[in-house]
């Protein structure tokens, strides 16, 4: 088994990895936890930012509510997924700390980069929830920002999409998947795989991003530096 190339990593996990629409599937949460256990065994420090598409997806609400309110609901939903993951990790005796973009007194501490970095250095899994705490940004932007805050050398965006495409592969059979692509090309071509703000922050701080499927094999391959998904750098 080859050694990991990236050893300080933020894993941005889509809500779909936590369950189907409308709920949390604790078997799936256990699979996420087992992946984290495996990554730690191979010597990497790992931080987590998760989405909440399994519980609520604001973009699907149409004109029922405005975008700002939908985003706040979505951020609350990310907290539910994060708490589920923390609970399963604790059951496995994995040291874990959970921070929120919103402090909830007596329950969830607000994100503090110095405290979180100390936890990271002490070998804890650091989970950051509630996105950026502000509407109009997705958890992609939160993931990139937390990766920068924690000094990570890679963010893996793990979801149901296996890379960055020239167009939506579900709509265009001729869409081209890139093995590698620059931040500038993603921005210039307005590729929708990540928020522009996420790409701009990553570019400023030279944070590498790999977009891959959420699977144990894909993510471990990405951390070893194998050609998997799409590398944005």
- Structural domains of the chain ordered from first start: 8-232 (3.40.1160.10)
Any idea which residue has 């990895």 for tokens? Answer: 17
pLDDT over 70 for what percent of the chain?
97
Q: Residue 63: is its pLDDT beyond 80?
A: no
Position 137 scores a pLDDT of 92
| pLDDT, mean of residues 176-190 | 95
Q: Residue 58: is its pLDDT beyond 80?
A: no
CA atoms within 13 A on the CB side of 156: 30
- Which token pair is 3? 């050694």
CA distances from 83 to 11, 12, 93, 110, 124 (A): 16, 15, 15, 14, 15
Helices (H), 109-214: 113-121, 139-149, 183-188, 196-205
pLDDT single digits (tens) 94-147:
999 999 999 999 999 999 999 999 999 999 999 999 999 999 999 999 999 999
Averaged pLDDT score across all residues of the chain = 93
Position 1 scores a pLDDT of 53
Euclidean distance between CA atoms 181 and 230, whole angstroms: 7
| pLDDT, mean of residues 66-80 | 93
Position 59 scores a pLDDT of 60
Cβ atoms of residues 81 and 22 within 8 Å = no
pLDDT over 90 for what percent of the chain?
85
Cβ atoms of residues 164 and 177 within 8 Å = yes
């Amino acid at each position: 088994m080859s050694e990991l190339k990236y050893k300080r990593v933020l894993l941005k996990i889509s809500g779909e990895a936590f369950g189907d629409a409308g709920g949390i599937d604790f078997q799936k949460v256990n699979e996420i936890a087992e992946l984290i256990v495996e990554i730690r065994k191979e010597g990497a420090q790992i931080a987590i930012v998760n989405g909440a598409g399994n519980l609520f997806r604001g973009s699907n609400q149409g004109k029922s509510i405005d975008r700002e309110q939908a985003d706040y609901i979505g951020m609350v939903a990310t907290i539910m997924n994060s708490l589920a993951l923390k609970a399963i990790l604790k059951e496995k005796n994995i040291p874990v700390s959970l921070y929120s973009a919103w402090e909830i007194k007596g329950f969830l501490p607000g994100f503090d980069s110095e405290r979180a970095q100390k936890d990271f250095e002490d070998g804890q899994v650091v989970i950051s929830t509630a996105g950026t705490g502000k509407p109009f940004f997705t958890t992609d932007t939160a993931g990139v920002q937390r990766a920068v805050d924690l000094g990570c050398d890679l963010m893996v965006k793990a979801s149901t999409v296996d890379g960055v495409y020239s167009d939506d592969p579900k709509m265009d059979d001729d869409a081209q998947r890139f093995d590698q692509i620059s931040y500038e090309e993603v921005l210039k071509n307005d590729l929708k795989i990540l928020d522009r703000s996420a790409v701009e922050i990553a570019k400023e701080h030279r944070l590498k991003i790999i977009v891959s499927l959420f699977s144990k094999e894909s993510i471990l391959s990405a951390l070893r530096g194998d050609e998997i998904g799409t590398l944005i750098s």
